[in-house]
Structure 1
Amino acid sequence: MRFPPRDLTRRPPHCPPPLTRLVALVALACVQMAVQAQEAAPAGESVENAPATLLPTQRLQESLSPAQRESAPMFLLGERISGRPDLETVVEGQAELRKPGTVIKADRLEYNAPDDQAKATGNVRINRGGNVFEGPQLELKLEAFEGFFLQPRYQFLQGDAHGDASRADFVDASTTVVHDATYTTCRRKPGPGWMPDWVLKAANITFDSDEDVGIAHGAYLNFKGVPILPVPAISFPLSDKRKSGLLPPTVGFDNVNGAELSVPYYWNIAPNRDATLTPTVMAARGADLGAEFRYLEPTYAGVLRANYMPSDKLRSADRWGATVNQTGTYDTGLQGIGNVSYLLNLNRVSDDNYWRDFTRSSGSLTQRLLPNNASVGWTEGPVALTASVLQWQTLQDPTAPIVPPYDRVPQLTARYTQTNQGGFDWSLEGDFTQFQADRSLTLQPNAQRVYGLAQVSRPWVGAAGFVVPKLQLHTAAYQFDNPIANGNRSADSTVPTFSLDAGLVFERDASYFGRALVQTLEPRAFYVRTPYHNQSLLPNYDTAANDFNFASIYTENAFGGHDKISDNNLLTLGVTTRLLDADTGVQLARFGVAQRFRFEEQQVTLTPSTATAQPGFSDVLFGAAVNVNERWALDSTVQYNPRTDKSERSTIGTRYSPSNYRVVNLAYRFQRDVSEQVDVSWQWPLNDLWGDRGQDLGAGRGMGEGRYYAVGRMNYSMDERRLVDTLLGVEYDAGCWLARVVVGRVQTSTSSATESIKFELEFVGFTRLGVSPLQTLKSNISRYQNLREVGGTNSRFSNYD
């Protein structure tokens, strides 16, 4: 260990004259600078005229290795210094002790070298890696970092947490125990009468910086001067690092469960594995136990979820649900085969009413069609092979029954693709599927189907446009377990298709509203010819009509799936114009129009009762998307019938978001003779109403203390004249704590709905109490922003002394 010399008789160039303080650190630094500058100066050039050079330094490293700490010197400085070298040193008046990662300041400081012990009195301040303690007296063994601090006030680097205690015991470099302690993240305000809005008071608190966790014993949480949560022992995070322990309890109420209480337990099993156990008591139903296990391995990852409720009072039965989801790769060890990928997705529940009675379960279990599938795939160059099994669990509602989809047990698919082979793109695809379902529900036989698709195209693509002719051949063969309408147990169909897709791209410089733009004009023509083949006797296993939009209007088949191939003789014409920023190329606006002209009647339909598409012009599609700036966005599509001079379907959506935490989304959806709805959602500071615009602190930090935010979503059916789904709430940001109240109503059938209220208190950097509505707000409000998002880890130089 090195100490500054007692007398420096020679002063190097550029070193300031001696001051009253004995600053040995400055003297040593000056000597080093002079030597390095002399070595770096070119021959014949004086040090004074030498150019400035940047030298590498270790001083700004976020963390130092043990070897660096061991070899680094320690510096003592102050107004008066006395003692014996390598024994004891006494510094008085603005005393400082510095070593890598630790700074101690005091009125008086004693250091005993043989014991490596420092004693500091009077306005003591110690900064250890950005964590600061202040008080009247400190005794500390520096290397082991063992000692005590009397009546300390402390502030931690992560989370801006602070507090005070009667005594702090430093157990080691990572563990500190404070007694008769307080802990809060409320920012201290001027004035002797300041009290934090919330504070944790405890007999003792252990802070573990390695695990970033605090453990309090004999504690209670005080909010606005009222004790609200007495706990014999509680652990809480000091950062966003995962840790095992009880999570904050949640309390909720709705018209199905009644009052409910959940106390989750989180188990941090390993860096790549964790589990959460969630016991819940529902006043109207009983007890429910939920569990989730997550894992991330080098070759696979997944999540397992399950819950079990014995003797549910609502249905007088045991209820359960389970989900397994895993993806990964498997090394076969076979030459030329290598790895295969696989997927496992299982979703099962106990009964048909599960989807409406457990609305807070995982999203996969709140649907009426629950997929259960497993697949294995292999890809090597142009070859792709897949084998899969898919079975559905259909949750039926007697008031609104649904026809279940067919199980695929199994499905085998092979595909071979080649691109730019002599200018040609071509592919071959084959599929074998066995379809199986309850005959009483589907009213058509089960079957085995072999399907094939061959296609070849010759694209000509350039900067000014493209031309792509394509030939396709679809073929399918069926084997039924019962005769179809003509008495046969087998059937087949082969249909060829020719298409020609062509377009041009024109550009010109433009200027609108004083802004330099590039405007494009992109006409496009798409012709498709598929001859008619009678497919009326073929059952339908996986085919549905394509939606009429800008994506499907330029496709060959009017159906999606492999059972029906529509006969077509039609030409689609369209034009799109775009406005692009001349400097960045960002699209500011897009306007398009497209229409089909059918030369012949389309005779192939999904069902015999479906009307055929007649010759002549189709409805006209109009589309527009506008993003003039970051505040406004508009996206709309209108399907217009020129024969009736009416809109058949319209979708218009707009978003206004002038800044963080200010967003309004509005959507209008109309389909003639089907539905007409208006959907509006928002997040907006209520303080704007009385002229308080707040501060732009950035995403995840709110807009300042003492602010209210309105949040919500309303979906109104104009033809039914009623609200379908409703979500209304208020958020309050007090700086170190947040409050949220959200009430919701979700329609579960034509005659029933689930109503709920969610209330949450979030003590920033400590814990949450209540039922969190955050996931509900994020899924219902586009561009919703949480008032507090976990940020990155602070640097120790944030509290640098």
Structure 2
Amino acid sequence: MILLRRSEAGSDRHQTTGLVALPAGEWLIAILFLLLAGLCYPSSWLYAAAPVAKRAKLPTEEEFISRQIRGARPAGNEKTIPTSITGRKLIYHRKTDSYTVYGNAKLVHGTTTLSADKIELRHQTEGIAEGHVLMVDPVGTVKAEKVRFNLKDETAVMDNGEVSALTNYHLTAKVLKKLSNQQYEGTDATITTCRCSTGVPDWGLSAQHMTLHYNGEAKAQGAYFDVLGHPLVPIPFAQFDTNSEPHSGLLSPRYGISSLNGFEFEQPYFIDLSKSQDLTAQMDIETSARIGGQMEYRIVNSDQNYLSFTGDYFNESIRSQSNRLGDIIDPQIADPHIPIQRWGLVGVMQQYLTPSVFLYGNAMSAGDSLFFREIGNAALSPDYGWNSGAWQTARDAISNFGVMDEFNDSYLQLESVWNQDLIQPQRFALQTLPQLLWSGYQSVGNGLAYLNYDASAVDYWRQAGYDGQRLDLNPTLTVPWAWSRYLDGWASVGVNAAAYNVSGKAVDVIPVGTHGLKFNNGLLLDGAIRNGQTGQVTPDANVGVRSALVGSSTLNRLGIGKVSTLIQPFVQYSYVPIINQSQMPLFDSLDRLEPRSLITYGTSLRLFGESLGGLANNAIGERAKSLLGPSFTNASGNTVTELLRMNIEQAYDTSNAVASDGSHLSDVAAQVSLFPTSLASGSANVDWSPRPHQGLDATTFSLAIEPPNQSAPTVYTGKALQGSYLQFSYSYAAPNAVLLNPGPQNAISAISMQGYVGILNRLGVYFAPIYDVSTARLLASVIGTRIKSSCDCWIVDIAMNQTYYPKAIGFTFQITLGGLGSIGGSPFGNNPFQMLGFLAPREQMVTPR
């Protein structure tokens, strides 16, 4: 073996991302080119190992040549990279200071390995490799018929070269030049991420001349988009974005067609301001409805300090009057007018000022009542806290801002809440300006009892109707007790004291179902005037007892070793005296405490699973455990997680009626929660009336399942849905159980489904209907199909969606090229198991968003 050393040359190792192409002339070509323009996502890493050649048995000659090389190398203190060369036959040419190796020739230079049938090395740095050339380094592999290389500056010229980067890119060229710092130039070159087989790739981009710089940019001239090796779409000039770090540039566009909005096109542009902040501006064109855009600013300094804000503006002068009127399903809302100039904003923030004091805020506001119903995506990212994704169905646009100071056993909160009513007249909307709350816990008698307390002062304001100030005190003293591990209980006494200073007229409610109201209650001002100071004091008392029955059994399946069962029957008595509160103001739930002499009884069942040793050391298991029910570590060091929880209870009031028919016996309420696993998740709530002629009052049921042993694609697939699954949910509420004026049209009975089924690893079907049983109306439906390659090299999703409110039929499609990303809008929903991390993880990506 020959040992060579040289001065180390700097070499950057970079990842790569997808390509962005500029438009061509014709209409069809322009559309296809716009699709290609969105492929700006980075690819994932892939490791390729070099074959190991057998060590040549030429000890005498190698030792002689090695001594010559070491003796001839000039002395120096510079950092060096070792080089070794082996083969079946090695010849040294003294006159030319060169070496020729035949048969299983291999040259190792630092982290780079070069193998071929024949290798010639001249002057320790330059050489030629011929025949089955394979070069492997940490960035990828290179195959060629012939390679002329320079070890000093890490350059090479390859005949019929192929570069397979660790980022799933595969670049071939008739003449391929490797420059320094992972730069390549190719003549008659083709690039693709499709690696399904060794044959012709399903797709690729070919060019007469192509330059590629990993973690930078590249360009191609005379390019074509190829399908099965055939050039179809000419692209005179194409630009490749290979930077895997967040950086400024165009993001994936979205396309769609809607009977209400026309042709839909959204093009976002991402601006990388710094490592912690960015800005995204999006152009939004809907040819039958509006033209406008959105702008989002985000800054994230830590998990506890962040701000996200999106502003929306649209001009609807191109929208016809019939289109506007046809989209209003409920003309009885207070403000059904749709203006030409429309705006909206959403935001969320939190900022710690000290380790215990922080500011927080949530913003949601719009220029008209129907903005959030018609603009489905009010924000450009999902990171908007508690109201994320619920804007389109919200009855109110609520914004709150405040400051909180956290102590050891209490906290102090100052908050203001602004309520924009999207249904009723805004003048009746009650605003909190502001509220000061002190809430805490205090141990009493060295742990024999504890005191919970809430003290608040709030100023309520509205334009029409009574408003004013309220001071509320609510202390509760609780004495717990325990008799062995199987029986414990508590007793508590408390008081709710409130003082008011109010003025203004009373507000009356007109129930839905009367006076022609179809969907919502109505409001009007009463002639009665409430002015002055008033107050009330309401005491309450509670006593309860419960038991615990524990059992366990061995399962040793599904990653669970032992299953433990905890059954807790309980009974509780609550007492609130009869106090006339009809003349008291009603601002929120604190203003009414109904009289009761109530006995509540029931039982709960909780099922815990102890994970097997293998699951605890699995990354997917750790991810799953963080999303399951409550978990803890037992005495043996194993993780125990709650899998199932079920509660059933009923109440009986000895003195007061609890139902509209005068009955003292309440409904039977049951709740079941199946915490998510890799197979299923679900929940159910049932409210059953045991009284005569009643029956089921309300129920909700949801279940999600997926086939076992599913895994995510090994290649990056952008926004494409992954894995087969099925979700089913049902909601029901009897009208006579929830409304003062019942009617069949006021009942709630809705069925929704969502699922994706893969067929033979080539096709897929997606469906998501929502059906209102009470009105026999299909509220919404999505039906879609997927065509894909067997190895996720490419995926085409297309779906038709129909909605009742707004009335529209639309088509959405998305094209995904494996390793690059997705363009268009995802027509399918989200697989809950994919979102929860229950699919085998694909290779992690770094993207701007």
**TM-score bin (small chain):** 0.7 to 0.9
- Letter paired with 2:201: P
State the Cα distance separating 1:571 from its structure 2 match: 0.6
Matched, 1:601 2:649: no
Distance 1:681 1:69 in 2: 68
- Letter paired with 1:683: G
Helix, strand or coil at the partner of 1:356? helix
2:112 equivalent among 85, 102, 105: 102
User: For residue 574 of structure 1, what is the aligned residue in structure 2?
Assistant: 602
User: For residue 9 of structure 1, what is the aligned residue in structure 2?
Assistant: none
User: For residue 579 of structure 2, what is the aligned residue in structure 1?
Assistant: 533
1:594–1:620 contact (8 Å) kept in structure 2: yes
State the Cα distance separating 1:2 from its structure 2 match: 7.5
Alignment of 1:226-625 (within 5 A): 227-228=232-233, 230=235, 232-237=237-242, 241-298=245-302, 300-310=305-315, 312-314=317-319, 317-331=340-354, 339-362=356-379, 363=389, 366=392, 367-396=394-423, 405-419=429-443, 421-439=446-464, 444-461=465-482, 463-482=485-504, 485=528, 487-508=530-551, 518-543=564-589, 562-578=590-606, 592-601=647-656, 614=662, 616-624=664-672
- Letter paired with 2:90: I
2:361–2:402 contact (8 Å) kept in structure 1: yes
Structure 1 residues 509 and 385: CA distance shift in structure 2, 3 A: closer
Distance 1:109 1:26 in 2: 16
- What are the Cα deviations for residues 421-476 of structure 1, in whole angstroms up to 9, with x where unaligned? 4332213221111112231xxxx301111112111212224531321212221111
- Letter paired with 2:349: Q
State the Cα distance separating 1:405 from its structure 2 match: 4.3
- Letter paired with 1:233: A
Matched, 1:683 2:755: yes
1:255–1:756 contact (8 Å) kept in structure 2: yes
User: For residue 785 of structure 2, what is the aligned residue in structure 1?
Assistant: 730
1:157 equivalent among 162, 166, 178: 166
Alignment of 1:595-744 (within 5 A): 595-601=650-656, 614=662, 616-624=664-672, 631=679, 635-644=683-692, 646-659=695-708, 660=710, 661-673=723-735, 674-687=746-759, 692=760, 704=761, 706=762, 708-734=763-789, 735-744=792-801
2:778–2:804 contact (8 Å) kept in structure 1: no
State the Cα distance separating 1:523 from its structure 2 match: 1.2
State the Cα distance separating 1:79 from its structure 2 match: 2.1
Structure 1 residues 791 and 681: CA distance shift in structure 2, 3 A: farther
User: For residue 807 of structure 2, what is the aligned residue in structure 1?
Assistant: 753
User: For residue 739 of structure 2, what is the aligned residue in structure 1?
Assistant: none
Structure 1 residues 511 and 100: CA distance shift in structure 2, 3 A: closer
Helix, strand or coil at the partner of 2:666? strand
The count of aligned residue pairs is 677
Distance 2:112 2:555 in 1: 60
Helix, strand or coil at the partner of 1:151? strand
Distance 1:756 1:24 in 2: 78
User: For residue 184 of structure 1, what is the aligned residue in structure 2?
Assistant: 192
State the Cα distance separating 1:565 from its structure 2 match: 1.4
Task: Calculate percent identity across the aligned residue pairs.
Answer: 18
State the Cα distance separating 1:130 from its structure 2 match: 4.4
Structure 1 residues 302 and 773: CA distance shift in structure 2, 3 A: farther
Structure 1 residues 520 and 316: CA distance shift in structure 2, 3 A: closer
User: For residue 198 of structure 1, what is the aligned residue in structure 2?
Assistant: 203
Structure 1 residues 685 and 641: CA distance shift in structure 2, 3 A: closer
Structure 1 residues 119 and 353: CA distance shift in structure 2, 3 A: same
- What are the Cα deviations for residues 603-623 of structure 1, in whole angstroms up to 9, with x where unaligned? 9xxxxxxx7684632122244
1:739–1:761 contact (8 Å) kept in structure 2: yes
Structure 1 residues 644 and 782: CA distance shift in structure 2, 3 A: farther
State the Cα distance separating 1:250 from its structure 2 match: 2.3
Distance 1:788 1:257 in 2: 39
- Letter paired with 2:282: T
Helix, strand or coil at the partner of 1:74? strand
State the Cα distance separating 1:151 from its structure 2 match: 2.5
1:663–1:784 contact (8 Å) kept in structure 2: no
State the Cα distance separating 1:245 from its structure 2 match: 2.1
- Letter paired with 1:450: L
State the Cα distance separating 1:324 from its structure 2 match: 2.9
User: For residue 140 of structure 1, what is the aligned residue in structure 2?
Assistant: 149
2:4–2:82 contact (8 Å) kept in structure 1: no
Distance 2:218 2:182 in 1: 12
1:663–1:783 contact (8 Å) kept in structure 2: no
Structure 1 residues 581 and 784: CA distance shift in structure 2, 3 A: closer
Distance 1:590 1:344 in 2: 34
TM-score scaled by structure 1? 0.76
- What are the Cα deviations for residues 540-569 of structure 1, in whole angstroms up to 9, with x where unaligned? 2222xxxxxxxxxxxxxxxxxx11112211
Alignment of 1:28-47 (within 5 A): none
Alignment of 1:60-99 (within 5 A): 70-83=79-92, 87-99=97-109
- What are the Cα deviations for residues 460-503 of structure 1, in whole angstroms up to 9, with x where unaligned? 24531321212221111111133765754222111111111220
- Letter paired with 1:505: A
Helix, strand or coil at the partner of 2:365? strand
2:346–2:378 contact (8 Å) kept in structure 1: no
Distance 1:718 1:156 in 2: 55
Helix, strand or coil at the partner of 2:353? strand
State the Cα distance separating 1:83 from its structure 2 match: 3.0
- What are the Cα deviations for residues 734-788 of structure 1, in whole angstroms up to 9, with x where unaligned? 120001112222332xxx52332211111111243322235x4458x99799999
- Letter paired with 1:321: G
User: Which segments of 5 or more consecutive residues in structure 1 lack a partner in the other structure?
Assistant: 6-17, 29-66, 332-337, 544-561, 604-610, 693-703, 795-801
Helix, strand or coil at the partner of 2:707? strand
User: For residue 822 of structure 2, what is the aligned residue in structure 1?
Assistant: 768
Distance 1:487 1:265 in 2: 55
- Letter paired with 2:435: Q
2:796–2:813 contact (8 Å) kept in structure 1: yes
Distance 1:284 1:629 in 2: 44
- Letter paired with 1:384: Y
Structure 1 residues 499 and 87: CA distance shift in structure 2, 3 A: farther
Distance 2:158 2:686 in 1: 73
Moved more, 288-297 or 671-680: 671-680
| Cα-Cα RMSD | 3.9
Distance 2:260 2:398 in 1: 26
Structure 1 residues 435 and 118: CA distance shift in structure 2, 3 A: farther
State the Cα distance separating 1:512 from its structure 2 match: 11
User: For residue 13 of structure 1, what is the aligned residue in structure 2?
Assistant: none
- Letter paired with 2:810: S
- Letter paired with 2:495: L
- What are the Cα deviations for residues 287-344 of structure 1, in whole angstroms up to 9, with x where unaligned? 322222222125731222123234542267222222332211124xxxxxx6521113
Distance 1:69 1:490 in 2: 88
